Amino acid sequence: MTKTALITGATSGIGEATAYEFAKQGIHLILCGRRVERLHTIEEALKKLTVVHTLNFDVRNKQQTFEAIASLPENFKNIDILVNNAGNAHGLDPIHEGDIDDWDTMIDINVKGLLYVSKAIIPQMTERHSGHIINIGSSAGKEVYPKGNVYCATKHAVLAITKGMRLDLNPYGIKVTAINPGMVKTEFSQVRFKGDPISDSVYKGFKALEAKDVADIIYFAVSRPAHVNIADLLVYPTAQSNSTTVLKEQ
Ligand code: NDP
Ligand code: 8X3
């Protein structure tokens, strides 16, 4: 039976690559993000492969989030796969120099936004006794690195929420998975460093993961047989061995 997936943060990086991967597999798509033009460009491209609907909302806005999801047309209302991917780091500063607005932004998007979207969708999954939630955590949810403080805290929270969801939703036959990548070359560092050219140096001297590498893994997780749940997966680029150790060419 054809499945429907809702992907947050589908306008770039891991979310966009996941949309392409799912579309190739014929999964019907609900693509979410704030940048409406990008949503439409991606929709136009993917319409050749599958059925696509777009939702334009900011996950920080509770009302917008619930209204957007409630507005889904009948043929998109039953969501089988939720990919909670929207998120970013904002800033990289020691805790005593951190910007409070950056902290608010990361907590509001990465933690509260993920919860709002989940709250809007989970009741239909519990009612149908089926569904799969993929939460995009990070290696930063497993370890804390210098200056990573609040971003790492949000990703630790994503992991705790994932574990909580798995416990609470297991009786309803709902799978819950955390996919935790190390360094992936996306727009992530441009956002973190607010367009500062320093963002160009982050992925220099080694082969970082590509968004497609993570998308392949997400599709692998959602395509396992009914009795198999990938609970928690950590993936690094080969050159990376933990959050602070990356083999770079000089
Ligand atoms: P990108 O910056 O390329 O993508 C982030 C996506 O999140 C965009 O589509 C953006 O869409 C969306 N987004 C951001 N803020 C909001 C918001 N307030 N409301 C709705 N959507 C929002 O980064 P990545 O693809 O790398 O990041 C995706 C996820 O992967 C994040 O959760 C990130 O923490 C995680 N991750 C990334 C890693 C990396 O090294 N790149 C490693 C580990 C985890 P728009 O701006 O259009 O709203
Ligand atoms: C993104 C990976 O190491 O840049 O979550 O924080 S890292």
Number of the ligand 1 atom closest to the C-alpha atom of 191: 2
Beta carbons of 211 and 10 less than 8 angstroms apart: no
- Structure confidence at residue 35 (pLDDT): 98
Structure confidence at residue 250 (pLDDT): 74
* Number of domains forming the structure of the chain: 1
Kindly give the number of the ligand 2 atom that is closest to the alpha carbon of 151.
6
> What torsion do the CA atoms of 107, 111, 117, 123 make, to the nearest 10 degrees?
-140
pLDDT of 82: 99
Pocket perturbation via mutation, ligand 2, pick of 138, 184, 245 by most ligand atoms within 8 A of CB: 138
Whether 151 sits among the annotated catalytic residues: the reply is yes
Is-above-0.80 flag for pTM? yes
Paired tokens of 200 = 């160009």
Q: Report the pLDDT value the prediction gives residue 28, as an integer from 0 to 100.
A: 98
Distance CA 143, CA 100 (A): 22
34 class by beta-carbon count within 10 Å (0-12 exposed, 13-18 middle, 19+ buried): middle
Classify each residue of 111-120 as buried b or exposed e, where b means 16 or more C-beta atoms within 10 Å of its C-beta: bbbbbbbbeb
Range of the domain at 163: 4-246
Q: What is the pLDDT of residue 32?
A: 99
| Ligand 2 probe mutation, 188, 193, 240, most atoms within 8 A of CB | 188
CA distances from 91 to 42, 102, 104 (A): 28, 7, 12
Residue 41, both tokens: 């460009």
Could you identify the atom of ligand 1 that is nearest to the CA of residue 17?
25
- Say what the pLDDT of residue 27 is: 98
What is the spatial distance between Cα 232 and Cα 142, in angstroms, rounded to a whole number? 11
CATH number for position 154: 3.40.50.720
Q: Collect the ranges in the chain with pLDDT lower than 50.
A: none
- Residue of 116, 151, 203, 219 with catalytic role: 151
